[in-house]
Amino acid sequence: MPQARVHVIPTSAPDDVSGLETLIAQGVLDPSRLVAILGKTEGNGCVNDFTRAFSVMALERFLGPHAQGVALVMSGGTEGGLSPHLITFESLDDTGESDAPALAMASHVTRDLDAHEIGTQAQIECVADGVRTAISKAQIRGPDDVAFVQIKCPLLTAERIACALYPTATTDTLKSMGLSRGAAALGVSLALGELDETTANIVQIGVDLNVFSARASTSAGVELMGHEILVLGMSAAWSGPLIIDHAVMSDAIDTAPVASAMSRLGVGTTATLVALLAKAEAAPSGAIRGRRHTMLDDSDISSTRHARGFVGGALAGLTGRTDLFVSGGAEHQGPAGGGPVAVIATKRH
C-alpha cells in the first residue's frame, strides 16, 4: 500500500529552497517521490505577482529532472501574519504499514484549453474529466472520500484573446482569472456529484454563486493552458498516519466548522495538525453578518489581499499556527463570502 508524506517547510524568500535541501540531506524527503508542491509566496497574489513564477523557477532549477511531473502550485499573498511556506506531497512505496484508510493523493494534467473555452461549460467538462481521472489514479473509492481538489487553471491574456479562434468569455484579463477559477471549481463540483449535468450545462459562471463546490480550491496562472489537478482524500488503499477532513466556512469568520473538522480528526488529542488549506474572499454582498465591510471599496489594497489576511487571522487564532495555505479568489468555491477548508493531520503513536 502506498503511503503519503507531507512536509510544511518555511521559506525565507520566494526562491528559498534551503528547507527542501535540508530535508533531502536528512533523508526525510525523497525528491523522486514528489507528487506536488504547494507554496504560499509573499507577493500580492494578483496580476503582477511575480513571486509565484520566481518560486517555480527556483524549484525547477533545484529539483532538476525530479521536477518533471510534479504539480507546482504557488499561491501569492501572505497578508497579515501568514507565513510563507512550501507544502510537499510525496507518495511513498508500500512501507509494510497497514494503517488504512489514510491520506491518498494523485495529480493529473488535463488537455490544453482553447482560449475561447476558458470560463465556459467546456472548461467545466474538461476539469470534471480530469478530476475523475485523478480520483481513480489516487485509488479513492468515490467522490465522497475526496476532501480537497486543488487546481491550477489558465487565464486569458491580451495576446490569447487576440489570437482566439472564437470570441472569448471576456476580454478583461483580470476577469478571466475569476471565470477560469469559477469554471474549474464547477468542474470539481460536477466530478464530485455536488452538481448535476443539467445544472452544469446552464449555470452562469461567475453569476450563480449559490452553486459551488465545498471541496474545490482553484487558482489561475499565466503559465499553462490546461489544468494541474491535485486530488486529496481518504482511501483504504493507502496506509500511514496521515488523515484528512474538510469543512466549509459560510463566511469569513465562520471558524466553527473548521474546529469540528479538526475535532473529528482528533487534532489536540489523538492527532496533530500538519497542514490547513483554505480559500478566502470578500463577501460580494459588502457585508459580513449584516455589518458592512470595506474590502470591495478599497482602491489601495485589493480585496483579495484583505480577505486572505482577515480569514488567515481567524484560522490562525483557531489553530495557533500562521503557516496556513490561505488562498484568495473563491468563485464557486464555497458559498459567496465563505470558502472550503481542508485539514491534514497525523495520528499520534
Pairing of strands 291-292, 287-288: antiparallel
177 binds a second copy (CB under 8 A): no
Among 125, 228, 323, 331, binds a second copy (CB under 8 A): 323
CB 202 within 8 A of CB 177: no
Among 288, 330, 336, 343, binds a second copy (CB under 8 A): 288
The C-alpha cell that represents 182 in the structure block: 469559477
d(CA 169, CA 172): 9
Pairing of strands 271-280, 339-347: antiparallel
21 binds a second copy (CB under 8 A): no
Q: How many residues belong to the site for a second copy (CB under 8 A)?
A: 64
301 binds a second copy (CB under 8 A): yes
Smallest separation (angstroms) from a second copy to the CB of 5: 21
Residues serving a catalytic function are 152, 219
Residues in the chain, overall count: 349
Cβ-based nearer residue to a second copy, 191 or 315:
315
Closest CA to 344 of 327, 307, 319: 319
CB 30 within 8 A of CB 71: no
Cβ-based nearer residue to a second copy, 130 or 329:
329
Strand blocks (E) in the chain: 3-10, 34-41, 71-76, 85-92, 102-109, 146-153, 216-220, 228-235, 242-249, 271-280, 287-288, 291-292, 325-328, 339-347
Among 82, 105, 211, 267, binds a second copy (CB under 8 A): 82
263 binds a second copy (CB under 8 A): no
Smallest separation (angstroms) from a second copy to the CB of 258: 9
169 binds a second copy (CB under 8 A): no
Q: Which residues bind a second copy (CB under 8 A)?
A: 10, 12-15, 42-44, 46-51, 53-54, 57-58, 61, 78-85, 158, 252-253, 255, 282-283, 286, 288-289, 291-295, 297-302, 305-307, 309-318, 320-323
